[in-house]
Amino acid sequence: MKKFAVIGNPIAHSKSPEIHAAFAAQFDINLRYTKLLANEGKFAPTAVSFFERGAGANVTVPFKEDALRFAEELSQDAELAGAVNTLSRQGGIIKGDNTDGIGLVRDIRDNYQYPFTDKTVLIIGAGGAARGVILPIARENPTSITIANRTHDKAAALVKQFNHYATISALTFEQLSQPFNIIINATSASLTGQHLPLNCQVFSPDTLAYDMMYASEATPFMQLASACGATAVDGLGMLVEQAAKSFEIWHGILPETRSVIANLRRNL
Ligand code: NDP
């Protein structure tokens, strides 16, 4: 039986084993997918020991950059994201990929039916999550990508890194004065229930406001977007879609995701 795992710290909350079990059941694939807690600074020994027998691993907070260094070969998405969330043993080597960005794109484009093509996109935040989604969004040909971050220099650095791939610019929160078609909250503000310094000018009735975080209740960002007349959704579908892409990398088949998202939503 092939062995898979998700490596992180903390890891108890992870829904990945549940998601991969649901995917595997769709194809009668027999696999073992476990949660693996790695101590701080101990990602590499944990991964070495896992890959003595393991076929693939997902990697989550705080080890995505360690996984980038651990991989012997990288996909373009992983290289530009500066982070790896999917490791695979292929032949004698360990390949590193990043499926977070394609997960976000599929959730917004396919599940919520908001294509990025010819749309204005605002990404709030300039940490690892923001960096990981820029290239997959750029491939969808939006009109423009704007990045706003509390620490403006980090947004400016992302613009410099990605300006060959998209029409991309950085604005401060104070400079945000017009509506965007798609607004993605890639900050960790929702984790602590903090409010972002945004006003209703950035939202319109056509705006999709997407919080990468997910919870049983609307986040402060989603509450603001709804109050300003936009459609507000969370990132549960992104979690499932990034897992689906990892599953495809490991098993060569793309699972159906909607029923899996619906089941997780019922149990949030
Ligand atoms: P990082 O720590 O790398 O970056 C955090 C970002 O949030 C920075 O841009 C930081 O700004 C900003 N920020 C934090 N607090 C505030 C605040 N109070 N006001 C304004 N900005 C704030 O985190 P990640 O990029 O790794 O993760 C961000 C989020 O994305 C997390 O909530 C994570 O759960 C989510 N995520 C969801 C996924 C999914 O599958 N649904 C997948 C991956 C991530 P500054 O630079 O100024 O510090």
β pairing state of 182-185 and 208-211: parallel
* Rounded distance between C-alpha atoms, residue 186 and residue 220, angstroms: 13
Predicted confidence at residue 191, as pLDDT, reads 85
User: Residue with the nearest Cα to atom 1 of ligand 1?
Assistant: 127
pLDDT in tens, 192-233: 889 999 999 999 999 999 999 999 999 999 999 999 999 999
Share of the chain above pLDDT 70, in %: 100
**Is residue 106 pLDDT above 90, yes or no?**
yes
249 confidence band (pLDDT: 50, 70, 90): very high
pLDDT in tens, 141-173: 999 999 999 999 999 999 999 999 999 999 999
Predicted confidence at residue 20, as pLDDT, reads 98
3 is catalytic: no
β pairing state of 31-37 and 73-74: unpaired
Average pLDDT, the chain: 97
What's the pTM value of the predicted model, to 2 decimals? 0.96
The token pair at 68 is 């980038």
Residue 128 CA to ligand 1 centre (angstroms): 7
Those residues whose C-beta lies under 8 Å from the C-beta of residue 42, and which sit 6 or more positions away, are none
Mean pLDDT across 230-246: 98
Those residues whose C-beta lies under 8 Å from the C-beta of residue 259, and which sit 6 or more positions away, are 22
91 confidence band (pLDDT: 50, 70, 90): confident
Pocket around ligand 1: residues whose beta carbon is below 6 Å from it? 100, 125-130, 149-151, 154, 186-191, 194, 196, 212-214, 235, 238-239, 242
Predicted confidence at residue 55, as pLDDT, reads 98
SS3 string of the chain? CEEEEEEECCCCCCCHHHHHHHHHHHCCCCEEEEEEECCCCCHHHHHHHHCCCCCEEEECCCCHHHHHHHCCEECHHHHHHCCCCEEEEECCEEEEECCHHHHHHHHHHHHCCCCCCCCEEEEECCCHHHHHHHHHHHCCCCCEEEEECCCHHHHHHHHHHHCCCCCEEEECHHHCCCCCCEEEECCCHHHHCCCCCCCHHHCCCCCEEEECCCCCCCCHHHHHHHHCCCEEECCHHHHHHHHHHHHHHHHCCCCCCHHHHHHHHHCC
Residue 149 CA to ligand 1 centre (angstroms): 10
* Rounded distance between C-alpha atoms, residue 218 and residue 145, angstroms: 25
Mean pLDDT across 24-32: 97
Tell me the CA end-to-end span of the chain in Å, nearest whole number.
Answer: 30
Predicted confidence at residue 187, as pLDDT, reads 97
Residue 138 CA to ligand 1 centre (angstroms): 20
**Is residue 190 pLDDT above 90, yes or no?**
no
185 confidence band (pLDDT: 50, 70, 90): very high
| Residue to probe by mutation, ligand 1, list 188, 236, 239, 240, most atoms within 8 Å of CB | 188
User: Is residue 70 within 8 Å of 47, Cβ to Cβ?
Assistant: yes
User: Residue with the nearest Cα to atom 40 of ligand 1?
Assistant: 239
* Rounded distance between C-alpha atoms, residue 18 and residue 2, angstroms: 16
**Helix 236-251 × helix 258-266 angle, to 10°:** 140
* Rounded distance between C-alpha atoms, residue 243 and residue 88, angstroms: 13
Mean pLDDT across 14-24: 98
User: Residue with the nearest Cα to atom 12 of ligand 1?
Assistant: 187
Identify the active-site residue in 2, 35, 42, 64: 64
Residue 213 CA to ligand 1 centre (angstroms): 9
Mean pLDDT across 174-200: 95
**Bridge partner list, 121:** 145, 182
